[in-house]
Amino acid sequence: MDDRMNLKNFIQVLKRRFKTILVTILCLFILTSLTSIFIIKPTYESTSTILVGKLEREVAAQGEINMLLASTMDLLKSPIVLNEVKKEMNITTDLEKEVSLQNNKNSQIINVIVRDHDPEIAKEIASSISSTAVTFMKESFNVADIQVLNATEIEPEVIGSLTLNLGIGFVVSAFLGVGMAMLREDLDDGIKHSKEVEEIIGIPVLGTINLKQKMRIPLVVGERGQTRKVGKSKSRGELRV
């Protein structure tokens, strides 16, 4: 019963503070939309693929392939390769944070994934890191069975979605709007229900008068048969004769 009454009170608060909820949702949603469209730059992801070893191999060569895979992945994110790429492209970006590697189990393929706000720069960084690492492996380790796969040109993809950001912004705005309504309700010391009066003064309430509604003006018959109108004072909401 208490849970039902609490839910009923919650719904009444939402109805009473509907304007607060609506204004909060509109303001925050507009702010989120403007931020997502004009301030936050989209992030692009570019992938370059490296093949280590031959696809047709003997079972005995599996250990050698695993060693080459581990060495290549360590080299791809090493300062030797990253500093060379930054020098070649004349950039000061922290490539270690933008570059990630992916290699599935029992796979000879290494994916070099680069994320940047510029799609062309992301694509160039991924290609440069792959080619630099492959060249270094061939020259320093005398590894012949390693190559960059450029059979197809894959254009960078956009990470995230504007629609998703707007949806998340709307949900967050709705929660904050309800929270703002509950906060205003909690800070409001006004009496909203007759039960609150009973709790304060300790006397049962026999009846209530709604002064917000239009009142009909009754006629009062005097002792001599004269009739008088009973009106409502506009200043204090009091009844006057």
C-beta separation of 92 from 62 below 8 A: no
Does 89 share its domain with 152? Answer: yes
Question: Is residue 18 situated within a structural domain?
Answer: yes
Instruction: Give 155-204 pLDDT, tens digit per residue.
Output: 888 887 888 888 999 999 999 999 999 998 888 777 666 676 667 777 77
Count of domains forming the chain: 3
Does 93 share its domain with 174? Answer: no
Does 48 share its domain with 75? Answer: yes
- Which residue has tokens 């509907």? 18
Question: Is residue 200 situated within a structural domain?
Answer: no
pTM: 0.63
Strands 109-116 and 231-232: unpaired
Does 27 share its domain with 55? Answer: no
* Confidence at residue 52, expressed as pLDDT on a 0 to 100 scale: 87
Does 50 share its domain with 117? Answer: yes
Does 149 share its domain with 53? Answer: yes
Does 152 share its domain with 173? Answer: no
Three-state secondary structure of 96-137: HHHEEEECCCCCCEEEEEEEECCHHHHHHHHHHHHHHHHHHH
The H-assigned helical ranges of the chain are 2-16, 18-34, 62-76, 79-89, 95-98, 119-140, 162-187, 194-201
Question: Is residue 135 situated within a structural domain?
Answer: yes
Residues of the chain with pLDDT under 70: 1-5, 55-62, 151-153, 191-194, 196-198, 206-241
131 is in which domain, residue-wise? 43-159
Does 140 share its domain with 213? Answer: no
Residue 98 burial (CB count, 10 A): 18
